[in-house]
Copies of this chain bind each other. A is one copy, B any other.
Amino acid sequence: MEQFAHYQPGAYAQEHIRITPTTLSDGRDFFYLDDEPQFVSGEKTRELKDPRPLAYRFAPQLDAEGNEVPYAAPQMRRDPLTGDWIPMATARMNRPITAGPGATAKGNPLAARKPGDPYQDGEVPDTDYNVVVFENRFPSMVRVPGADESVSYINDNPLWEKKLAVGRCEVICFDSNETGLPADLPVSRLRTVVEAWAFRTAEISQMEGIEQIFPFENHGQEIGVSLAHPHGQIYCYPFIAPKMEQELQHTEAYFERTGGNLLKDIMQGELEAQERIVMRNHSWVAYVPAAARWPLEVHVAPVRDVLTLDELNDQERWDLAQMYSTLLKRGNAFFDTGDGKGMDLPYIAAWHQAPIHDKRREHYRLNLQFFSFRRAANKIKYLAGSESGMAAWISDTTPELIASRFHELGEIDIA
């Protein structure tokens, strides 16, 4: 593991997970995380060559008139009215359709390569895998070598700052079975996904320009997910995201006022109140927050003080895999479908980690915010005027009702 200098694998990972780095034909980083014995033992080695003849990812491109133009590095602009940086995926828009084979994906690009298949659009060089992580082919944020990263002004007006969006976007495939649900994966495979989160957090934390690492999972066609393949993403922002900034302001103010850690005291308060706790194991506590805004919302906090995913120890990584698995299963059973079979719940699982460089990081604490837009088996919560226009959420339920439904679905103590 020498090549991953900052990564502290869990004890299980040291013995049972093998990480194999490679590079895709266009230059993107790619990692296999294998947990099956034949890979871990070295009995079977990875086929590393990407068979696609992709051009170098940052090579000059052809514009509409066929002229060669430099790669259009993604930009971002700062909204003066809110202070938010808005990445603009101009590179994706300007991408010429004449860029050569494989310019647009056909089929499922997250599937393993089929042996002998001429299909050239799969992102995985090998014919099977357990968990893989790789850089997104069409990133909305990416560092382009040699590009000018200074701040400049739109229309020469200092109100409007712009600069390159020197972030990073990665994709994590949770399994090679393209029709499986994350909820149905064995805990041991989810344990490897946790290892991927920890590994990537450790590595990316060392990269220049990244301020916040945000592993998340969008699940369900209802929220626009076009690939059913079980996967998540990691957005690495070159700024503190607005929601994280708001949370940091409050955790810091709380520390200054009380000397305490707000996220820890919230967890402690939930444990004392009991009624909104939905799951517990040795290392984690899951609760419906007392001011939940979504029709289904659960926050998951580590028992121990932990800032980021890579700080989790081996037991905590195992316990997290177990809790994530149980959360997804109970989430699928949450809404009454009439036939008792449950549903494939659409959800967003959002990891809130301490930011990388911000000084307020010490008073933050790792937490997972899991929520669903679904508010009944046949109803969706839409983000209309109040939510989208004023960021003012109106809940249609109460945290205690959400928690009591979870209590019907299984034991709180899942250890």
Contacts and interface: CB of A to CB of B under 8 A. Distances in A.
A302 B225 CA distance: 39
A265 B390 contact: no
B216 A250 contact: no
A343 B273 CA distance: 52
A404 interface: no
Contacts of A85: 392
Contacts of A384: 218, 223-225, 348
B395 A83 contact: no
Interface in A172-230: 214, 216-218, 223-225
A393 B291 contact: no
A322 interface: no
A333 interface: no
* Number of chain copies forming the complex: 2
Count chain B CB atoms within 10 A of each CB in A224, A243, A254, A262 and give the residue with the most: A243
A289 B159 CA distance: 11
Contacts of A140: 394
Contacts of A155: 269, 272-273, 275, 290
A233 interface: yes
A275 B160 CA distance: 14
Given A81-B250, A82-B250, A89 B385 contact: no
A25 interface: no
Contacts of A244: 390
Nearest to A253: B83
A269 B398 contact: no
Nearest to A75: B398
A263 B140 CA distance: 29
B78 A291 contact: yes
A90, A237, A246, A380: which has the most chain B beta carbons within 10 Å? A246
Interface string A52-92: 00000000000000000000000001111111111111101
Contact of A83 (B216, B246, B381, B397): B246
Contacts of A224: 380-382, 384
A392 to B, nearest CB: 4
B90 A398 contact: yes
Contacts of A92: 396
A160 B268 CA distance: 13
Contacts of A214: 385-386, 389-390
A36 interface: no
A398 B397 CA distance: 38
A348 B389 contact: yes
A160 B276 CA distance: 13
B392 A348 contact: no
A89 B386 CA distance: 14
Nearest to A215: B385
A157 interface: yes
Contacts of A391: 84, 241-243, 246, 391
Interface string A336-348: 0000000000001
B86 A348 contact: no
A105 interface: no
Contacts of A348: 384-385, 388-389
Given A90-B398, A92-B396, A154-B273, 15 more contacts: A80-B266, A82-B243, A83-B250, A87-B392, A88-B398, A154-B290, A157-B269, A214-B385, A216-B389, A218-B384, A224-B384, A237-B392, A243-B392, A348-B389, A350-B388
19 contacts: A77-B290, A80-B262, A80-B266, A81-B247, A81-B266, A83-B249, A86-B292, A86-B393, A88-B395, A88-B397, A88-B398, A155-B275, A159-B290, A160-B269, A218-B385, A224-B384, A243-B389, A348-B385, A350-B388
